[in-house]
Structure 1
Amino acid sequence: MSEKPTYVLTRDYLDNIRLNLHHYLCVELFGYHTHPQIPLNGDNLRIADLGTGTGIWLQDIARRVPASAQLDALDVSFDAVPPKAWLPANMRTIEWDVKQDPPAELVGVYDVVHIRHFTLVLLDEEVGPVLERIYKLLKPGGYLQWTEVDMGSFRVESTEPSNPTAALNRLLKISEGHDPRLRPRWVPSLPAKAAAVGFHEVHVDARDAAPDLALPLHDCNLLINAIFARKFKNQQVAQVLEELMPEVERETKLGSCWAFTRHTVIGRKPEA
């Protein structure tokens, strides 16, 4: 692969903190690492994690599957993944871009393919082709699990109707202005897109966070704006954020935060 695709965020320690924190918060929100309908047994279990980021999902799942399972982290960059010596012995990294056809050695070999947090990566027209490639990766009877934040569900939730929220609303608009990938609206259509490429038993688990999780999820999302300032190095945007963030913090402390509905979609490739 001669040139790595651009990533809208940074792959630095701040982004790693955000990814790892979001992982544990999402597990708490949904109550599972893999959906209860997905079996994780057998002597030759193979699991792929697409866009693995820091590899945190696979490292966590490694404690919940047989030691004989093969865990493959697939991504275009492994800059955020820990050194090999700190990874589970049955975990390996494979460079692959989900926007390209999979290599022959990855076709039809996985029992489970996990993917999440691609709303900042994919445009609407790219989702169907990615699902087709995931379908190719799976064994007959294998499962897809895809988790995303529905950006179109954005709202500000407050402890009191009178709470100020102007800065929180403005901050999201500024964030979305950086890149068209930051204005995705395709998440609710993901189940239909999965069914269209041939997945059966498609199921969606949509969750809204209770207040005890909503606030830490909100704080986690606010990290994105600090990351944007590092990524884009736009002095005008940086100045606006510098002026706006104290007001965002004030509104948050008074009892208001961002809220989004999160979706986990599962589907099964039919048996041969």
Structure 2
Amino acid sequence: MEHEAYILGRNFSANARLNLQYFLWKDAGFSLHPSIPANVENLRVAEIGVGTGIWLVDLARYLPPSAQIDGFDIDLTQCPPKEWLPSNVAVHKIDCLGPLPKHLLEQYDIVHIQLFHLAVHNNDPAPIIRNLLGLLKPGGWISWGEMDYSTFKIIRTEEGNDVEDNLTALLEMIGTLGGTRPNWTADDWPIRLPQFFEENGLTNVAVNNRPFPLELLPFQLDTALMASEEVSYKALDPMRNGSGDRCRDLIFKVFQNRQKLAYNIGRLTVVGQRPSQ
């Protein structure tokens, strides 16, 4: 995704939001899908779109010290300084959606990508899958995680039965960028990732789809409101049509009822293996 197309923030509050999102996603789950063999020596792992680098740092604590973990992004400003990263973690400024440098081809046992929804065009992740396949050694694994918006559901407490649902309107505004594009949150391609994987030659496809436990819904809502506010300033305000203000008004109304109304959604992870031959 080109730098100019990134509609979320890159400041300290965006960093905090990304880190909270990561730990909420991982709660009662995993850093790597359990079907992926990771307790092996000299493992090479790549992450595409590192954000703050939190996954890289966290994963390094669970893998053998001989593992080499590389992160690729077109913007590394949200990451820790390179000299503060674990010794087996490195980050690199590379656009992995474009042609890949030859020295990276077939070098990795595992390629991880997560929350990349905004970079997928025309409901078709196949071009990205094909590009990432180039990074994998024969027998290597791809792991792709996305929020499953097909499972989006408003959740109310008893006190919230009569509360106006401003959340759905907010999701519509963010998903369509104020009505200027098709609603990316209505795309169903994440739940079709197993099909996309198989069509592109991946085998041993496995799926994990976990909703959030009720006690984490307010925290998950907080991250959604933070992301929505980032979009309101970075993408909607430049339109100069009042959509940024309308978005922030919805955010305020949703937050007022934070203890009465929230939403749940699936944390979807799909993994597949490149054949050895």
Q: TM exceeds 0.5?
A: yes
After superposition, residues 125-140 of structure 1 pair within 5 angstroms as 125-140=123-138
Aligned residue in 2 for 1:19: 18
Deviation at 1:210, TM superposition (A): 1.6
Aligned residue in 1 for 2:276: 271
What's the % identity of the aligned pairs? 33
Number of residue pairs the alignment of both structures matches: 268
Structure 1 distance, partners of 2:77, 2:115, is: 18
Aligned residue in 2 for 1:212: 215
Structure 2 distance, partners of 1:252, 1:61, is: 32
Taking a change above 3 Å as real, the CA distance of residues 121 and 163 of structure 1, as seen in their structure-2 partners, is farther
* Structure 1 segments (4+ residues) deviating >4 Å: none
Structure 2 distance, partners of 1:36, 1:176, is: 32
Residue type at the aligned position of 2:82: K
Aligned partner of residue 252 in structure 1, secondary structure: coil
Taking a change above 3 Å as real, the CA distance of residues 124 and 204 of structure 1, as seen in their structure-2 partners, is farther
Structure 2 distance, partners of 1:243, 1:176, is: 16
Q: 1:153-198, CA deviations, whole angstroms, 9 ceiling, x for partnerless residues? A: 3221112372414212211111112154743331111110011111
1:148 is the counterpart of 2:146: yes
Structure 2 distance, partners of 1:163, 1:187, is: 32
Deviation at 1:258, TM superposition (A): 2.0
After superposition, residues 74-223 of structure 1 pair within 5 angstroms as 74-160=72-158, 162-178=161-177, 180=182, 182-183=184-185, 184-223=187-226
Deviation at 1:4, TM superposition (A): 4.3
Aligned partner of residue 36 in structure 1, secondary structure: coil
> Can you give the 5+ residue segments of structure 1 that lack an aligned partner in the other structure?
none
Aligned partner of residue 32 in structure 1, secondary structure: coil
Deviation at 1:21, TM superposition (A): 0.5
Contact residue 144 and residue 268 of structure 1 kept, 8 A:
yes
TM-score by length of 2: 0.90
Structure 2 distance, partners of 1:165, 1:89, is: 51
1:248 is the counterpart of 2:240: no
Contact residue 117 and residue 147 of structure 1 kept, 8 A:
yes
Aligned partner of residue 154 in structure 1, secondary structure: strand
Structure 2 distance, partners of 1:58, 1:251, is: 35
More deviation, 61-70/34-43: 34-43
Deviation at 1:62, TM superposition (A): 0.6
TM-score by length of 1: 0.92
Note the aligned Cα RMSD (angstroms). 1.9
Aligned residue in 2 for 1:49: 47
